[in-house]
Structure 1
């Protein structure tokens, strides 16, 4: 296993917003990986997985999207963050920072849920050599099982508007769904999951420039049979937004890996580290 050091850094976005980030710096760098976080998930959640990659000679960058974790500037109730600016401003800044930290190598995305969904909004996304997505799907409500549709409709279409109105932001932590969300993040999340193609619902409405059609690199889309959000149908729905990707899919079953659950989140937890070689093998084969 390679030696590495961790360094807390700042990432400056095109609009001068500053993001909190962590760089994992191995002694020698085979390739570099940016981990795109899921909606409302702090970068510390990916620490063990990032350390695993760094110990296998991959330079790694994790970061908090604006309005999340240590990237909150001001009061969350008045924060202007949106899913769209996470893709258009935060993600390209993270990719640029990755290239500055680790020059003259290949660059890869490990995207978790929204961290993979939003990649086609980043103007420098085509500079990536490969994409590994876990639980990245359109989250389309009508492609869920009926029992899951009920609770998802409640959260998306009742709780989000209620919480935004009463508190000025969405208290998603009440549902065990990560950090509190700025109002526009939750509002776009609601809108995009009610349509098909996730971000595609915003094309020519709020999104007038995107790069999904230009993505041609190899991509592996991984989901789990016990994830009620990233169902096979919703993964295919999200993949259709990037029609030119050289994409493959892999659906995991917890029992096949001696795990009780994988779901939407557990892939990156230390207790599911038996899954991590799947990502490592992908990155090794495309570096």
Structure 2
């Protein structure tokens, strides 16, 4: 088994924002390099075991905190101007450029978790990706969700988010087990997009003036879990409808088939789900 070096680094975005990130450098030859795009409000440490696994297999990896999240938050979260859109337009492209600088002349891959996969079409340099492997990435369209979870999702988006923003100036999502506290604009955009159709498509011609969803032809694998109440098949299909030329494979995992109590929306990246990681590794090996 190969070993790797783990270093904390700072990544500069084009607009001057700095991101806290972690760099996983394999010892020996590097097969390819991977950007792990985090879910909304999830810190990079959540992906540490998975990133280490990939590094042990010979892949360079960068994990990072989006602006306004974790160690990339500067000052009070109430003052953060971060949005979902700038995560895709500024943060993800900057991380890819960093990946290229640390691992030059390699193939570059996105492994996206939820929003980390959904936002790929906002990256101005997305065409430099050799492949995309997404887990639990879907439109999150509220109207497609099944009862009783639909009540919970609608309450969070349409009651909790606006009230929390009103009273606290940000969304206290940590109080309901939804990751880190969210900057106001992140939560507002998340709510708007999940109430629409096609997620970010809701913003086309409004806040989003330029995107690459219609142009990407990248090979992609979209994985969801049968016990995920958010990234259900209908919402994965809804997200994929935004891409016009993307080469798409899909896979639905059932926790029972792997002796797991749950996979859901989050557990693919848990160390307890390590027997699922071979799917990502095999995908990388096929496209490196």
Aligned partner of 1:81 in structure 2 is 82
Aligned to 2:127: 126
Question: Which position in structure 2 is the counterpart of 1:223?
Answer: 224
Aligned twin of 2:167: 166
The whole-number CA distance in structure 1 between the counterparts of 2:183 and 2:120 is: 20
Q: How far does residue 146 in structure 1 lie from its aligned partner after superposition?
A: 2.1
CA distance in 1, matches of 2:258, 2:86: 37
Displacement after TM superposition at 1:74 (Å): 1.3
- Displacement over 2 Å in runs of 4+: none
1:143 aligns with 2:144: yes
Q: Name the structure 2 match of 1:16.
A: 16
Q: Distance in 2 between matches of 1:7 and 1:29?
A: 16
SS at match of 2:148: helix
Where 1:213 maps in the other structure, the secondary structure is coil
Cα distance in 1, alignment partners of residues 285 and 223 from structure 2 = 17
Kindly state the Cα deviation for residue 243 of structure 1 after the two structures are TM-superposed. Answer: 1.8
Equivalent pairs counted in the alignment come to 287
CA distance in 2, matches of 1:134, 1:150: 24
Separation in structure 2 between the aligned mates of residue 146 and residue 232 of structure 1, nearest angstrom: 15
For residue 73 of structure 1, report the CA deviation from its aligned partner.
1.1
Normalised TM-score (structure 1): 0.99
Quick one: distance in 1 between partners of 2:214 and 2:88? 15
**Partner of 1:5 in structure 2?**
5
CA-based RMSD: 0.5
Return the alpha-carbon distance in structure 1 between the equivalents of residues 234 and 279 of structure 2. 22
Shift of 1:51: 0.3
Which deviations, in whole Å up to 9, do the C-alpha atoms of 1:51-94 show, x marking residues without a partner?
00000000000000000000001110111000000000001001
1:205 match: 206
1:251 Cα deviation from its structure 2 partner: 0.3
In the TM superposition, what are the counterparts of 1:104-115 in structure 2 within 5 Å? 104-115=105-116
SS of residue paired to 1:251:
strand
